[in-house]
A and B are shown apart, each in its own frame.
Chain A
Amino acid sequence: MTSSAPGAAEPAAPTGPDGAPEAATPEELAAQWDAEKPEPAGVVTNAVIALLVIGFGLAGVLGSWALGAGSLGSPGPGTWPLVISSAITLLGLVLLLQARATDDTERFTSESWVIVPAVLSLVPFAYLIEVIGFEIPSAALAFVWLKFLGREAWRTSVVGALLMVAAFYGIFVVALRVSIPHLF
């Protein structure tokens, strides 16, 4: 019935739209999804994560102790945080014990580095918006994300950034009349 869609009308089509081998049963599909998942990180990463959790918990315990632990009958400001921090510490120990059997972490890859410039590009935005309004920082941010993080073409990046700012101006300033510093 869908003559305009090659591959769709034939139940026996061996490949999916992305050219990958077609999984026929739910089990095969699940195995395929599993294989496409990011690689799990190693034991060392898992142990470091567990130690971070323990460290966070211990810091919480010390901090709440300093606040005054109180007692069950007359709970002080530190009672509740103390209970939670102790629980976090214990859970961290459990994670440490499980470090070898954990496979729900994602390995950092060379692609992960993209996060660093992405996050760094947000900080100047935060400070500039109060000084020179949102238009120029927004256009710059959009341009950086399009051109350098997204590797779009120059024309797409410039036009895209300008269009986005124009659209946000329309939504936030003209339509919603939100109080936001703006130049124009």
Chain B
Amino acid sequence: MDIAPVIDGFGVVLQPENLLYCLIGVVVGMLVGVLPGLGPAATIAILLPLTFNVEPVTAIIMLAGIFYGAQYGGTITSVLLRLPGEASSVVTVFDGYALARQGKAGTALGIAAVGSFVGGTVSIVALTLVAPLVATFALDFGPPEYTLLAMLGILLVAAVGNGGRTKAFVAAGIGLLLATVGRDGFTGAERFTFDSLSMADGLDFVPIAMGIFGLAEILHSLENREKLAKPMSKVKNPWPSRKELRQSSGAIGRGSVIGFVLGILPGGGATLSSLAAYGLEKKRAKNPERFGRGAVEGVAAPETANNAAATSSFIPLLTLGIPANATIAVIFGALLIQGITPGPGLVEDHPDLFWGVVNSMYIGNILLLMMSIPLVGLFVKILTVRSTIMAPITVLITMIGVYTVNNNTFDILLVVVFGVLGYLMKKAGFEPGPLVLAFVLGSLLESNARRSLILFDGDVSGFATRPISGTLLAVLVIVLVLPLLGLVYRRTRSGGANAAGPSGPSGPTGPTGHAGPTAGGPDTDGTTGAGDVPRDNSKEEATS
């Protein structure tokens, strides 16, 4: 492989402006990670307008920094407050908080920071090697392959997310339908514009993402004001001892691999990989009863994995143009707005952007490691800012920000409309992630599906006869059919007891009753084994 562009990429990163934006990105990410409620997807959506005035590479460096920075920050509240700042840090709570109660909060945070750094770095190196290969392979993809790839991406994200799978598919369907608004690229016919000039060119991604992720989360947290606990302990001596490092080195190594692999898969990402890594360590341990009582590996594994996954989930985006999760979908939208369509050609056509972004992650991880250990106290202070004060700040950033995109009042109203829609969806149990992802991929999916049909002369079996699209189709069918089979299996075993599940407040389903990623999900990789790990639904939507 040609390493000259890789080296040039470092030149791009080391430009002062890019370094500054990388620093801003990771600091914002860290803050967002610490604050419960506002997730990285919401934050990136809200900050989209700020990226319009800078170079594409600078913009993406900052947005990527927010994403992986949040993985570091989420640890802090998990350990100190038993309050996961991010969905991907939920499992860290068990052993992290137990360690903190034993006066070892510093150890937990230190090992998490080291693990995150190692996981992130391993993942970047692997990304550097793998991404160009994937891109070369994907250069041969035609419309049928892209059709199925996009469908698979949407399906997996909807199927793996927590909450009801049916509702996730509905959300994805609505996203696809929203993407059809505007002039049809093939026939020129106007679709669902209701004779409005503002809608003739289709709905903009920015107000939708800002409304559904940003404003909806602000409104939702307005209703559920969390009682914030005071940080319980001063963190002392965050440098892990040599013994603790040795004890967790295996967990960090395995966590890096799990995180990297699951991060690439659509729908995988940081949350799922942290669960999987925790589950694996618990399974492998000689005395698993240590877990949940302050095992260092129980912090090291998930924290390593979530950071590795956050990094590797850039691979499908940068090489195939398919975002693997909702947060990446927002970054995809940011690229489109900058006039860059991510895809197999990106490495060749925009090497400065590709390698600039990839290499910025090294710098970002070093910055995060430097910040997260000595500056923990400072970040914990953020938690003392009341949510009643945070809410107007975030709502103003959103409102002013979206106006600056086109200097257009209609955009503000769109954000309000989609904010209300997103809020109602949250109340009704629909995840916002699949909607935004499907909206982003909608036009790509439709145009490729139509081109394929024209190519096949209307014969849908054409999708099955091409080798790559045939394989993708097979995977698609498996993803769709497996959960149904599982459902039938459970129904027959439990004699239909599921049908009368608890609907009243008095019947909590227990930790694994629902919403676990492996509870009937497409557990096709067999690596998860984390079905016994409970999850907190309310923190989940943003990162799924």
Which residues does A use to contact B, with CB under 8 Å?
Answer: 1-2, 4-5, 7-11, 13, 16-18, 24-27, 29-31, 33-35, 37-43, 45-46, 49, 53, 56-57, 60, 63, 67-68, 71-81, 84-85, 87-88, 91-92, 94-95, 98, 100-106, 108-109, 111-112, 114-115, 118-119, 122-123, 125-127, 129-130, 134, 138, 141-142, 145-146, 149-152, 156, 160-161, 164, 168, 172, 176-181
Which residues does B use to contact A, with CB under 8 Å?
Answer: 49-50, 53, 81-82, 93-94, 100-105, 163-164, 166-167, 169-170, 173-174, 176-177, 180, 184, 186-187, 189, 191-192, 219, 222-224, 227, 229-234, 236-237, 291-292, 386, 388-389, 391-393, 395-397, 399-400, 403-404, 407, 409, 412-413, 416, 419-420, 423, 426-429, 446, 449-450, 453-454, 457-460, 498-505, 507-512, 514-515, 533-538
Residue numbers in B under 8 Å from A122 (CB-CB): 395, 399, 412, 416
B94 & A26 in contact (Cβ 8 Å cutoff): yes
Residue numbers in A under 8 Å from B93 (CB-CB): 29
A67 & B191 in contact (Cβ 8 Å cutoff): yes
Question: Smallest CB-CB separation from B168: which chain A residue?
Answer: A91
A72-B460, A102-B429 as given contacts; A176 in contact with B222, CB under 8 Å:
no
Kindly identify which residue among A111, A119, A138, A178 contacts B53, using a CB–CB cutoff of 8 Å. Answer: A178
Distance in angstroms between the alpha carbons of A106 and B500 in the assembled complex = 19
Question: Smallest CB-CB separation from A49: which chain B residue?
Answer: B428
Distance in angstroms between the alpha carbons of A94 and B487 in the assembled complex = 14
B170 & A8 in contact (Cβ 8 Å cutoff): no
B505 & A39 in contact (Cβ 8 Å cutoff): yes
B404 & A63 in contact (Cβ 8 Å cutoff): no
A172 & B429 in contact (Cβ 8 Å cutoff): no
A103 & B232 in contact (Cβ 8 Å cutoff): no
- Interface pairs (21), CB distance under 8 Å: A4-B233, A5-B233, A5-B234, A8-B232, A26-B94, A27-B534, A29-B82, A34-B510, A46-B503, A49-B428, A87-B173, A91-B170, A100-B499, A119-B420, A122-B395, A123-B416, A130-B409, A138-B396, A141-B392, A164-B396, A177-B53
Residue numbers in B under 8 Å from A151 (CB-CB): 388
Residue numbers in A under 8 Å from B459 (CB-CB): 72
Question: Smallest CB-CB separation from A152: which chain B residue?
Answer: B388
State how many angstroms separate the Cβ of A121 from the closest Cβ of chain B.
Answer: 9
Residue numbers in A under 8 Å from B514 (CB-CB): 103-104
A11-B102, A178-B404 as given contacts; A126 in contact with B409, CB under 8 Å:
yes
B100 & A8 in contact (Cβ 8 Å cutoff): yes
A104-B163, A178-B404 as given contacts; A81 in contact with B180, CB under 8 Å:
yes
Distance in angstroms between the alpha carbons of A9 and B223 in the assembled complex = 35
User: Which of B166, B224, B231, B501 counts the most chain A CB atoms within 10 A?
Assistant: B166
B409 & A127 in contact (Cβ 8 Å cutoff): yes
The 9 closest A-B pairs by CB, nearest first: A73-B458, A30-B534, A150-B388, A30-B511, A104-B429, A8-B233, A5-B233, A72-B458, A126-B412
Residue numbers in B under 8 Å from A150 (CB-CB): 386, 388-389, 391-392
Residue numbers in B under 8 Å from A125 (CB-CB): 399, 412
